[in-house]
Structure 1
Amino acid sequence: MAKAQYIAFYITVCCIAFIVSKIVVSVLLYKRWKRKHLIYEEDGFSGGKMVMFKSAMMQSLKSDELFKKTLKLSYKDIIGSGGYGTVYKLMLNESTAFAVKRLNRGTAERDRGFERELEAMGDIKHRNILTLHGYCTTPQYNLLIYELMPNGSLDTFLHGRSVETKLLDWPSRYKIALGAARGISYLHHDCIPHIIHRDIKSSNILLDQNMEAQVSDFGLATLMEPDKTHVSTLVAGTFGYLAPEYFDTGKATVKGDVYSFGVVLLELLTGRKPTDEEFFKEGTKLVTWVKAVVEHKWEEYVLDSSLKCSPADEINGVFRIAFLCLEPEPSKRPTMADVVKMLEQARSERVVEEY
């Protein structure tokens, strides 16, 4: 009996020591990350706190310059708005500008959206994911400070006023599709824990000065451990882009993002929004419509009119990739890593057909 008690005591002590060591290591790693990434952190601004992350752009800023500029933002500086909040253009000088997303506090859901976005974006560095430069919290509102994308969103180019002055040619659309796919693939496969975006759509794909795609708006993002297959959640996202299984199971998976990306591919190919009744024939499910287009080779009849002289083999290949992404059964959809590979080799239809 005494020996058994000694063994139990020994195991307990070892477990406690292991847990304590993990906590200590976590604290040390966090402090190391903080020293590496933060160049400025200040409490006391209007009862709140401002944090800026280390980057070449932020190095030359004075400690309180950015915050003082945010206090002067007005309706004249608004460049976007929606359920996620209001986005302002913040000019520090002639060569330095930021996009500032303001989220008014007051509801638990708004605060959770801010926390999700901050948690998902805080340590991500990828050429196809919008860079978060810092944030500010106050009792009245939260601010997220992003890199400014001079060419706005893909939605604006395809459906907004800018389409009147500058059309997207096929090489640009292909480049945007591949860049967005690489960004989403990074979230799904290279981040630990994995990140499910849950709101992939054309308005959340922003374009930099080189028309390079950057995935943005992580207010609905969900983190998922590598050994998990899904995360139970409320149905959230944008109608027309949501995967059908969300409504049946209420579970978010990376394959839901794949479905949404398939819808974005169709937008790039057709120039139409997924809510366009004329585009998606009434009473016809999306996947049935796409299947008919692919099987009967109707691509040229539904293609955006500005792409009529584009290479048919590449366009038909991307239609087939979209069809794979839009499979009703999630397990039959490719992963985003597979989608990237297929898009990279879109000039070879054989790659898609052999998948």
Structure 2
Amino acid sequence: MRCSCFGGPSVDKKRGSAAETLHGIDGDLLQDVNHISYNELRSATDNFHSSNKIGRGGFGDVYKGTLRSGIQVAVKTLSAQSKQGVREFLNEIKTISNVRHPNLVELIGCCVQGANRILVYEYLENNSLDRALLGSRSTNIRLDWGRRSAICLGIARGLAFLHEELVPHIVHRDIKASNILLDKDLNPKIGDFGLAKLFPENITHISTRIAGTTGYLAPEYALGGQLTMKADVYSFGVLILEIISGRNSTKPSWGGMEKLLLEWAWQLHEEGRPLELVDPEMGEFPEEEVIRYIKVAFFCTQSAANRRPLTSQVVDMLSKQIRLNDKLLTAPGFFRDSDSASGGPSSMKKSTTDSTSYQMSSVPVTITEVTPR
């Protein structure tokens, strides 16, 4: 089943400055969006009090609040000085204002009043996946294998909905742990669509500026700006490895060497030690199933985009007892931003002329296939 949920300007429509764009299309773009007054949001967040601050987005702070109706919300403010933030504000409204799925964060409304540009989302009690993974020792969240596998599957279902059911399709472009939010039952929801692109059915790729986060970028996109839905698949493959290992993919040193998480995981796989990747905080786990998830991550991160599965295939690979054809599995490709060699996540919103792409083997490219049991 497919859903057509979008109106307004076409994907390729040229735009002026961010401010001009906002004023020029408010009437068309915002007419179907719930408008919430600035005064109500100020009251909901106790005048945006620091005690209600729950995070920081790329262009402003995020606050917990309660609307007059009693609904708890996350209020994402936008810095008035950020022209790029205005573009992302508009983009987020354009892509998900009418989209509903259990594994996507729901946009409840927005505020466009005076200089204020604010997005209002459903509030998710357990914050982001990266906090749950990297801060598990200081939180009450215990991510056993059952929860981790369910999180992987939920994210895959959300991506499959974006890629294959919506028309036009949506490529998220920034799938990473900090953009996955967890509700009270630890169900995952994909959030932050500020970099997302609408993807009409009659095109194979979009040539676009490079945007995303180092450590999750597909090499063909990072180096050539050629965007397809397989870029999200690659990012999701890296995310699977993070969920299994409880480690940050952007850290540049694993296994005592200057290796990315993906590179280190592949080395363990080749040496027959894949379970050394597993987070010791996980507790007991089914070894065969964990190994299957690791292999799915490698299929998702194949160096050539046409070797990666569709997201609907990934859902099947994760949810069904399918035997993966290891003969088709070749070494993944990876991208390393030279500026990130000193460590820490780096947001990729610049030229990649000083960056390097590596392919860890020269095995000829073929189409990825999955062999049923």
Common fold by TM > 0.5: yes
Unpaired stretches in structure 2, ≥5 consecutive residues: 1-6, 9-28, 327-368
- Distance in 2 (CA, whole Å) between partners of 1:214 and 1:294 is 30
User: Residues 52 and 88 of structure 1: is their aligned pair in 2 closer, same or farther, counting only changes over 3 Å?
Assistant: farther
* Match status 1:110 vs 2:110: no
Fraction of identical pairs, as percent:
37
Q: Which runs of 4+ in 1 moved over 4 A?
A: 49-54, 61-68, 161-164, 283-288, 351-354
Q: How does 1:23-102 map to 2 (within 5 A)?
A: 65=40, 68-69=43-44, 72-92=47-67, 96-102=71-77
Q: SS where residue 217 of structure 2 aligns? A: coil
User: Residues 233 and 165 of structure 1: is their aligned pair in 2 closer, same or farther, counting only changes over 3 Å?
Assistant: same
Choose which of 194, 205, 214 in structure 2 pairs with 1:219.
Answer: 194
* Counterpart contact for 1:51–1:134, Cα < 8 Å: no
Q: Give, in angstroms, the shift of residue 302 of structure 1.
A: 1.9
Task: Identify the residue that residue 350 of structure 1 maps to in structure 2.
Answer: 323
Choose which of 144, 154, 168 in structure 1 pairs with 2:143.
Answer: 168
Higher relative contact order by CA 8 Å / sep ≥ 6: 1 or 2?
2
Unpaired stretches in structure 1, ≥5 consecutive residues: 1-25, 28-48
* Counterpart contact for 2:253–2:260, Cα < 8 Å: no
Larger Cα Rg: Structure 1 or Structure 2? 1
Q: How does 1:102-181 map to 2 (within 5 A)?
A: 102-160=77-135, 163-181=138-156
Q: Give, in angstroms, the shift of residue 74 of structure 1.
A: 2.3
User: Residues 309 and 238 of structure 1: is their aligned pair in 2 closer, same or farther, counting only changes over 3 Å?
Assistant: same
- Distance in 2 (CA, whole Å) between partners of 1:214 and 1:157 is 14
Task: Identify the residue that residue 307 of structure 1 maps to in structure 2.
Answer: 282
- Distance in 2 (CA, whole Å) between partners of 1:69 and 1:167 is 31
Choose which of 204, 218, 242 in structure 1 pairs with 2:179.
Answer: 204
> How many residues are treated as equivalent by the alignment?
302
Q: Give, in angstroms, the shift of residue 96 of structure 1.
A: 2.6
Higher helix share: 1
Deviates more, 1:233-242 or 1:171-180: 233-242
Amino acid at match of 1:289: W
User: Residues 90 and 98 of structure 1: is their aligned pair in 2 closer, same or farther, counting only changes over 3 Å?
Assistant: same
Q: SS where residue 238 of structure 2 aligns? A: helix
Amino acid at match of 2:99: I
Amino acid at match of 2:123: L
Q: TM-score under structure 1 normalisation?
A: 0.77
Q: Give, in angstroms, the shift of residue 140 of structure 1.
A: 1.7
User: Residues 53 and 210 of structure 1: is their aligned pair in 2 closer, same or farther, counting only changes over 3 Å?
Assistant: farther
Q: Give, in angstroms, the shift of residue 308 of structure 1.
A: 5.0
- Distance in 1 (CA, whole Å) between partners of 2:42 and 2:238 is 39
